[in-house]
Structures are given as C-alpha cells and as structure tokens.
Amino acid sequence: MEIKTETEKAARNGAPIHARAETYTMQAAAFERMVALRRDFHRHPELGWQEHRTADRICAVLDDLGIDYRRDVAGTGVLAEIPGSQDVPAVALRADMDALPIHEETGLPFTSAYDGIMHACGHDGHLSMVLGAAELLAAGAALPAPVRLIFQPAEELGSGAQAMIRAGALKGVGMVFGGHLDRHYPTGSIIVSDGVVNASTDMFEIRIEGQQAHGARPHESVDALVVGSLMVTTLQTLVSREVDPAHPSVVSVGRFEAGTAANVIAGQAVLEGTIRAQETEVREQLKKGVARMARAIGQIHGARVKVRFPSYAPPVINPPEATALARRAALLTVPDDFVRPLHKANMGAEDFSYYLQKRPGCYVRLGSQRPGHEGFPAHSSKFDFDEAALATGARYFANVARVAGEALSRANGA
C-alpha cells in the first residue's frame, strides 16, 4: 500500500501514532488489520437491512478477540460487550454498517464487487475503527466501566438507530459516543463541538391530482405539471424569505415526475424533497410552510394536493458535559492543535441523534482528507478517505471509552 502521510509512515514503521501521553497507542500490525478490514468491508458493501455478510465479518473479528456478542439484533445488527467494573453503567461506541445504492467509480483495487452498491459515506471505516478500538480495549488494562459496541444497520435509511434502541442497545448504558470520517478536515484531526452538530432531516412527498387532457385543448385540463412547477419555484422562498438567515436551513426538491406523452397534459404529478434544519422550531416552521404553500397553489389552480412527511431524524445535539469528556479523550489521542471545533454548520443528517435523545454522549468528526480527492464528497461515486484516519479513530474511541468510563465510575461511587 502506498504510504500517503507521516501518520501512516509512523504506523508502518511500528511506532505509536502521534506518540504522547495518551492512554492507547497503536502499532503497525493493528493498523494493518484495520486497513485490511476496511478494504474487505468496502469490497463487499451491503444496503440497509441487508448487512448479513458484514455482520458475519464483524462477528468473526469479535470471536478472534474473545469478545462476547449478540447478533441478529433488530435484524442485522450486532451488540458486543467488553467487561469492565461491575455496578457501573456501560459506555457505548456506535458504528454504522450500511452502504449506498451508488455505482462506484473510484478505481480502487478493492472497489465494490457489487454493481450499484458502494460504501460512499465511510461506514466501512467506522466499522474498522470501532473494531480497532475493541482490540485495544480488550488487550489493555481493566476498564473502569463496561464497553458496549453497537454495530448498527440502516443508518442511511434513518431507521436503524431506533430499531437498535427498541432491541435494547442502550439498556444499561450510561453514555454513548459516535463519529464520522470527514474529508473537510486534515487527517489526524478530531472535530469536537457541543450543541447542534448535524441538522434534522425530513422528507416530503407532494401528490398532485389534476385533470388530464389533450395538449391541444388545455382549457379542458388542470395541468398537474404546471402546478408542480409553481410549487418547485415557490418553495424556494421558504428559506430565503421566511426563515431567519442566522438559522441554517434547506428545502430542496429532488424529484419531480409528471406527464406521459408530449401531446398529453399531465393529470398527475409527484414532488419529493428534503427539509434540513438545526433548530426544532425552524424544522416545524418549514414543514408547515411546505404544506401551506403546496395546498394553496393546488387550490388556486383547482388541483387536489396531498402532502406527507416521512421523518428521518432530529438534529444531533451534543450536551456540554459529555462533549467535555470527548474533548479530553481527543486531547489524549492527537496533538492539541489537531483538536478543533466544527467550523461551519453541517446540514447532513445522522440517526445517532436518537441515541442522544436517550443518553448523554457526543458525536465527533474525524479528519480524513485524501490529497487530490477533496472534490469528491460523501455520497459521491468517487468518494474515498485517507486510511491513516483509521488509527486516529480507533485510538479516540478507545480513549473516550476509558475517559467516560472513569466519569461514570466516579458518579456511581465505584
């Protein structure tokens, strides 16, 4: 493998990565195992609720490490337990498992073996980092609190976290931590901020029922295509004219389907899109605004309109106390100047928010810029990341498990 960074060179030479007074360090052999795992996951991506081979691979690694686990949780999920001090709540580390319905165009030697399915969001890396952390934790000193590993399906569908919670993923858990590889930040950096770090997201579907007619006789129609077109343009004013510019938000129409032939006026149309917001009040304002505008435009033109909002996830909000623990773990993992705040609003959504509604915790970003690939964002057919970030992530997760475990132990008088 080509060595791309000084961090990776250190790992390849058998030296601890970013050697300093951290709790956990990583040697070259462990780093190589993570890279091999990441490439295996990348080569064999699976969509949400179909992650059977992925689960098999995770369980095989856990078997090798001697870590107890339960599989087939909420379908394809896996829960693993690393023992710690008794009578102390567990620290949970979460990794998402699923890939995306995208045809890969990276040209990597370990490119997807399945046409139309790709790990284009870094979940292959997230799995490898948490498994790498598990290796460090299992081989290290006794833990101040048990550590639960949550391998979650279907993050991209927005339904995996809730299903895992219903299946007991947070039972006996005191805090929960997660993270995401991020090409916007240099490899080796850890981005830690409290407050809102990911937007909420809601999908919307607008169905328009007009009156089909011959293209030569428009007066006999209620043109669903025209009605839908007016909706597309009018909805853009929701953010630009009804929301405070200081509150980041987005309304985007991603799909518009209407018409069956060039000489037939459309009697039906469907619009689908997404709403993003970082405040609950703005989220609700935008949903009400979409419904109000769609119905008003339909009424003006005599069309029947139905609007629905299949929800995805609320915003990810890091509480201050747990974020302080995450920052401490990050400072134990990388040099001080590599621990940074989120420099701009992240409008992407994450169903990790559901865990944070139930337990305190923190969601961080893990810098993974790959030189020459900065222009290929997540969910792109050419997305890739610097594999040296795997070492940073594994060590951070191991460190935060210990730091949070110590805090839980003190709080419980253990």
* Active-site option among 155, 194, 202, 386: 155
Q: Shortest CA distance to 277 belongs to which of 317, 316, 315, 307? A: 315
Residue from 268, 265, 269, 270 nearest 221 by CA: 265
DSSP state of 15: P
Q: How far apart, in whole angstroms, are the C-alpha atoms of residue 23 and residue 405?
A: 13
3-class SS of residue 264: strand
Which residues lie across from 361 on neighbouring strands?
Answer: 176
Nearest-angstrom CA–CA distance, 106 and 289 = 40
Nearby residues of 252 by Cβ (< 8 Å), 6 or more positions away: 273, 274
Which residue is catalytic, options 98, 135, 351, 406? 98
Task: With H, G, I as helix, E, B as strand and everything else as coil, classify residue 122.
Answer: coil
Q: Distance (Å, rounded) from C-alpha 297 to C-alpha 400?
A: 52
Q: Does the annotation count 321 as an active-site position? A: no
Backbone angles phi, psi at 28, to 5 degrees: -60, -40
Respond yes or no: is residue 155 known to be catalytic. yes
Q: How far apart are CA 132 and CA 222, in angstroms?
A: 60
HSE-up of residue 328 (Cα within 13 Å, Cβ side): 15
Give the number of residues written for the chain.
Answer: 414
Question: CA separation (Å) from 358 to 158, 197, 209, 387?
Answer: 16, 17, 41, 32
Q: Are 212 and 264 in contact (CB under 8 A)?
A: yes
CA distances 93 to 102, 352, 401, Å, are 27, 11, 8
How far is 30 from 114, CA to CA, in rounded Å?
Answer: 28
b/e burial code for range 229-268 (CB count within 10 A of at least 16 → b): bbbeeebeebbeeebeeeebbbbebeebebbeeeeebbbb
Task: Judge whether 361 and 355 are in contact, CB under 8 Å.
Answer: yes
Residue 47 backbone dihedrals phi, psi, to 5 degrees: -75, 170
**Catalytic sites, residue numbers:** 98, 155
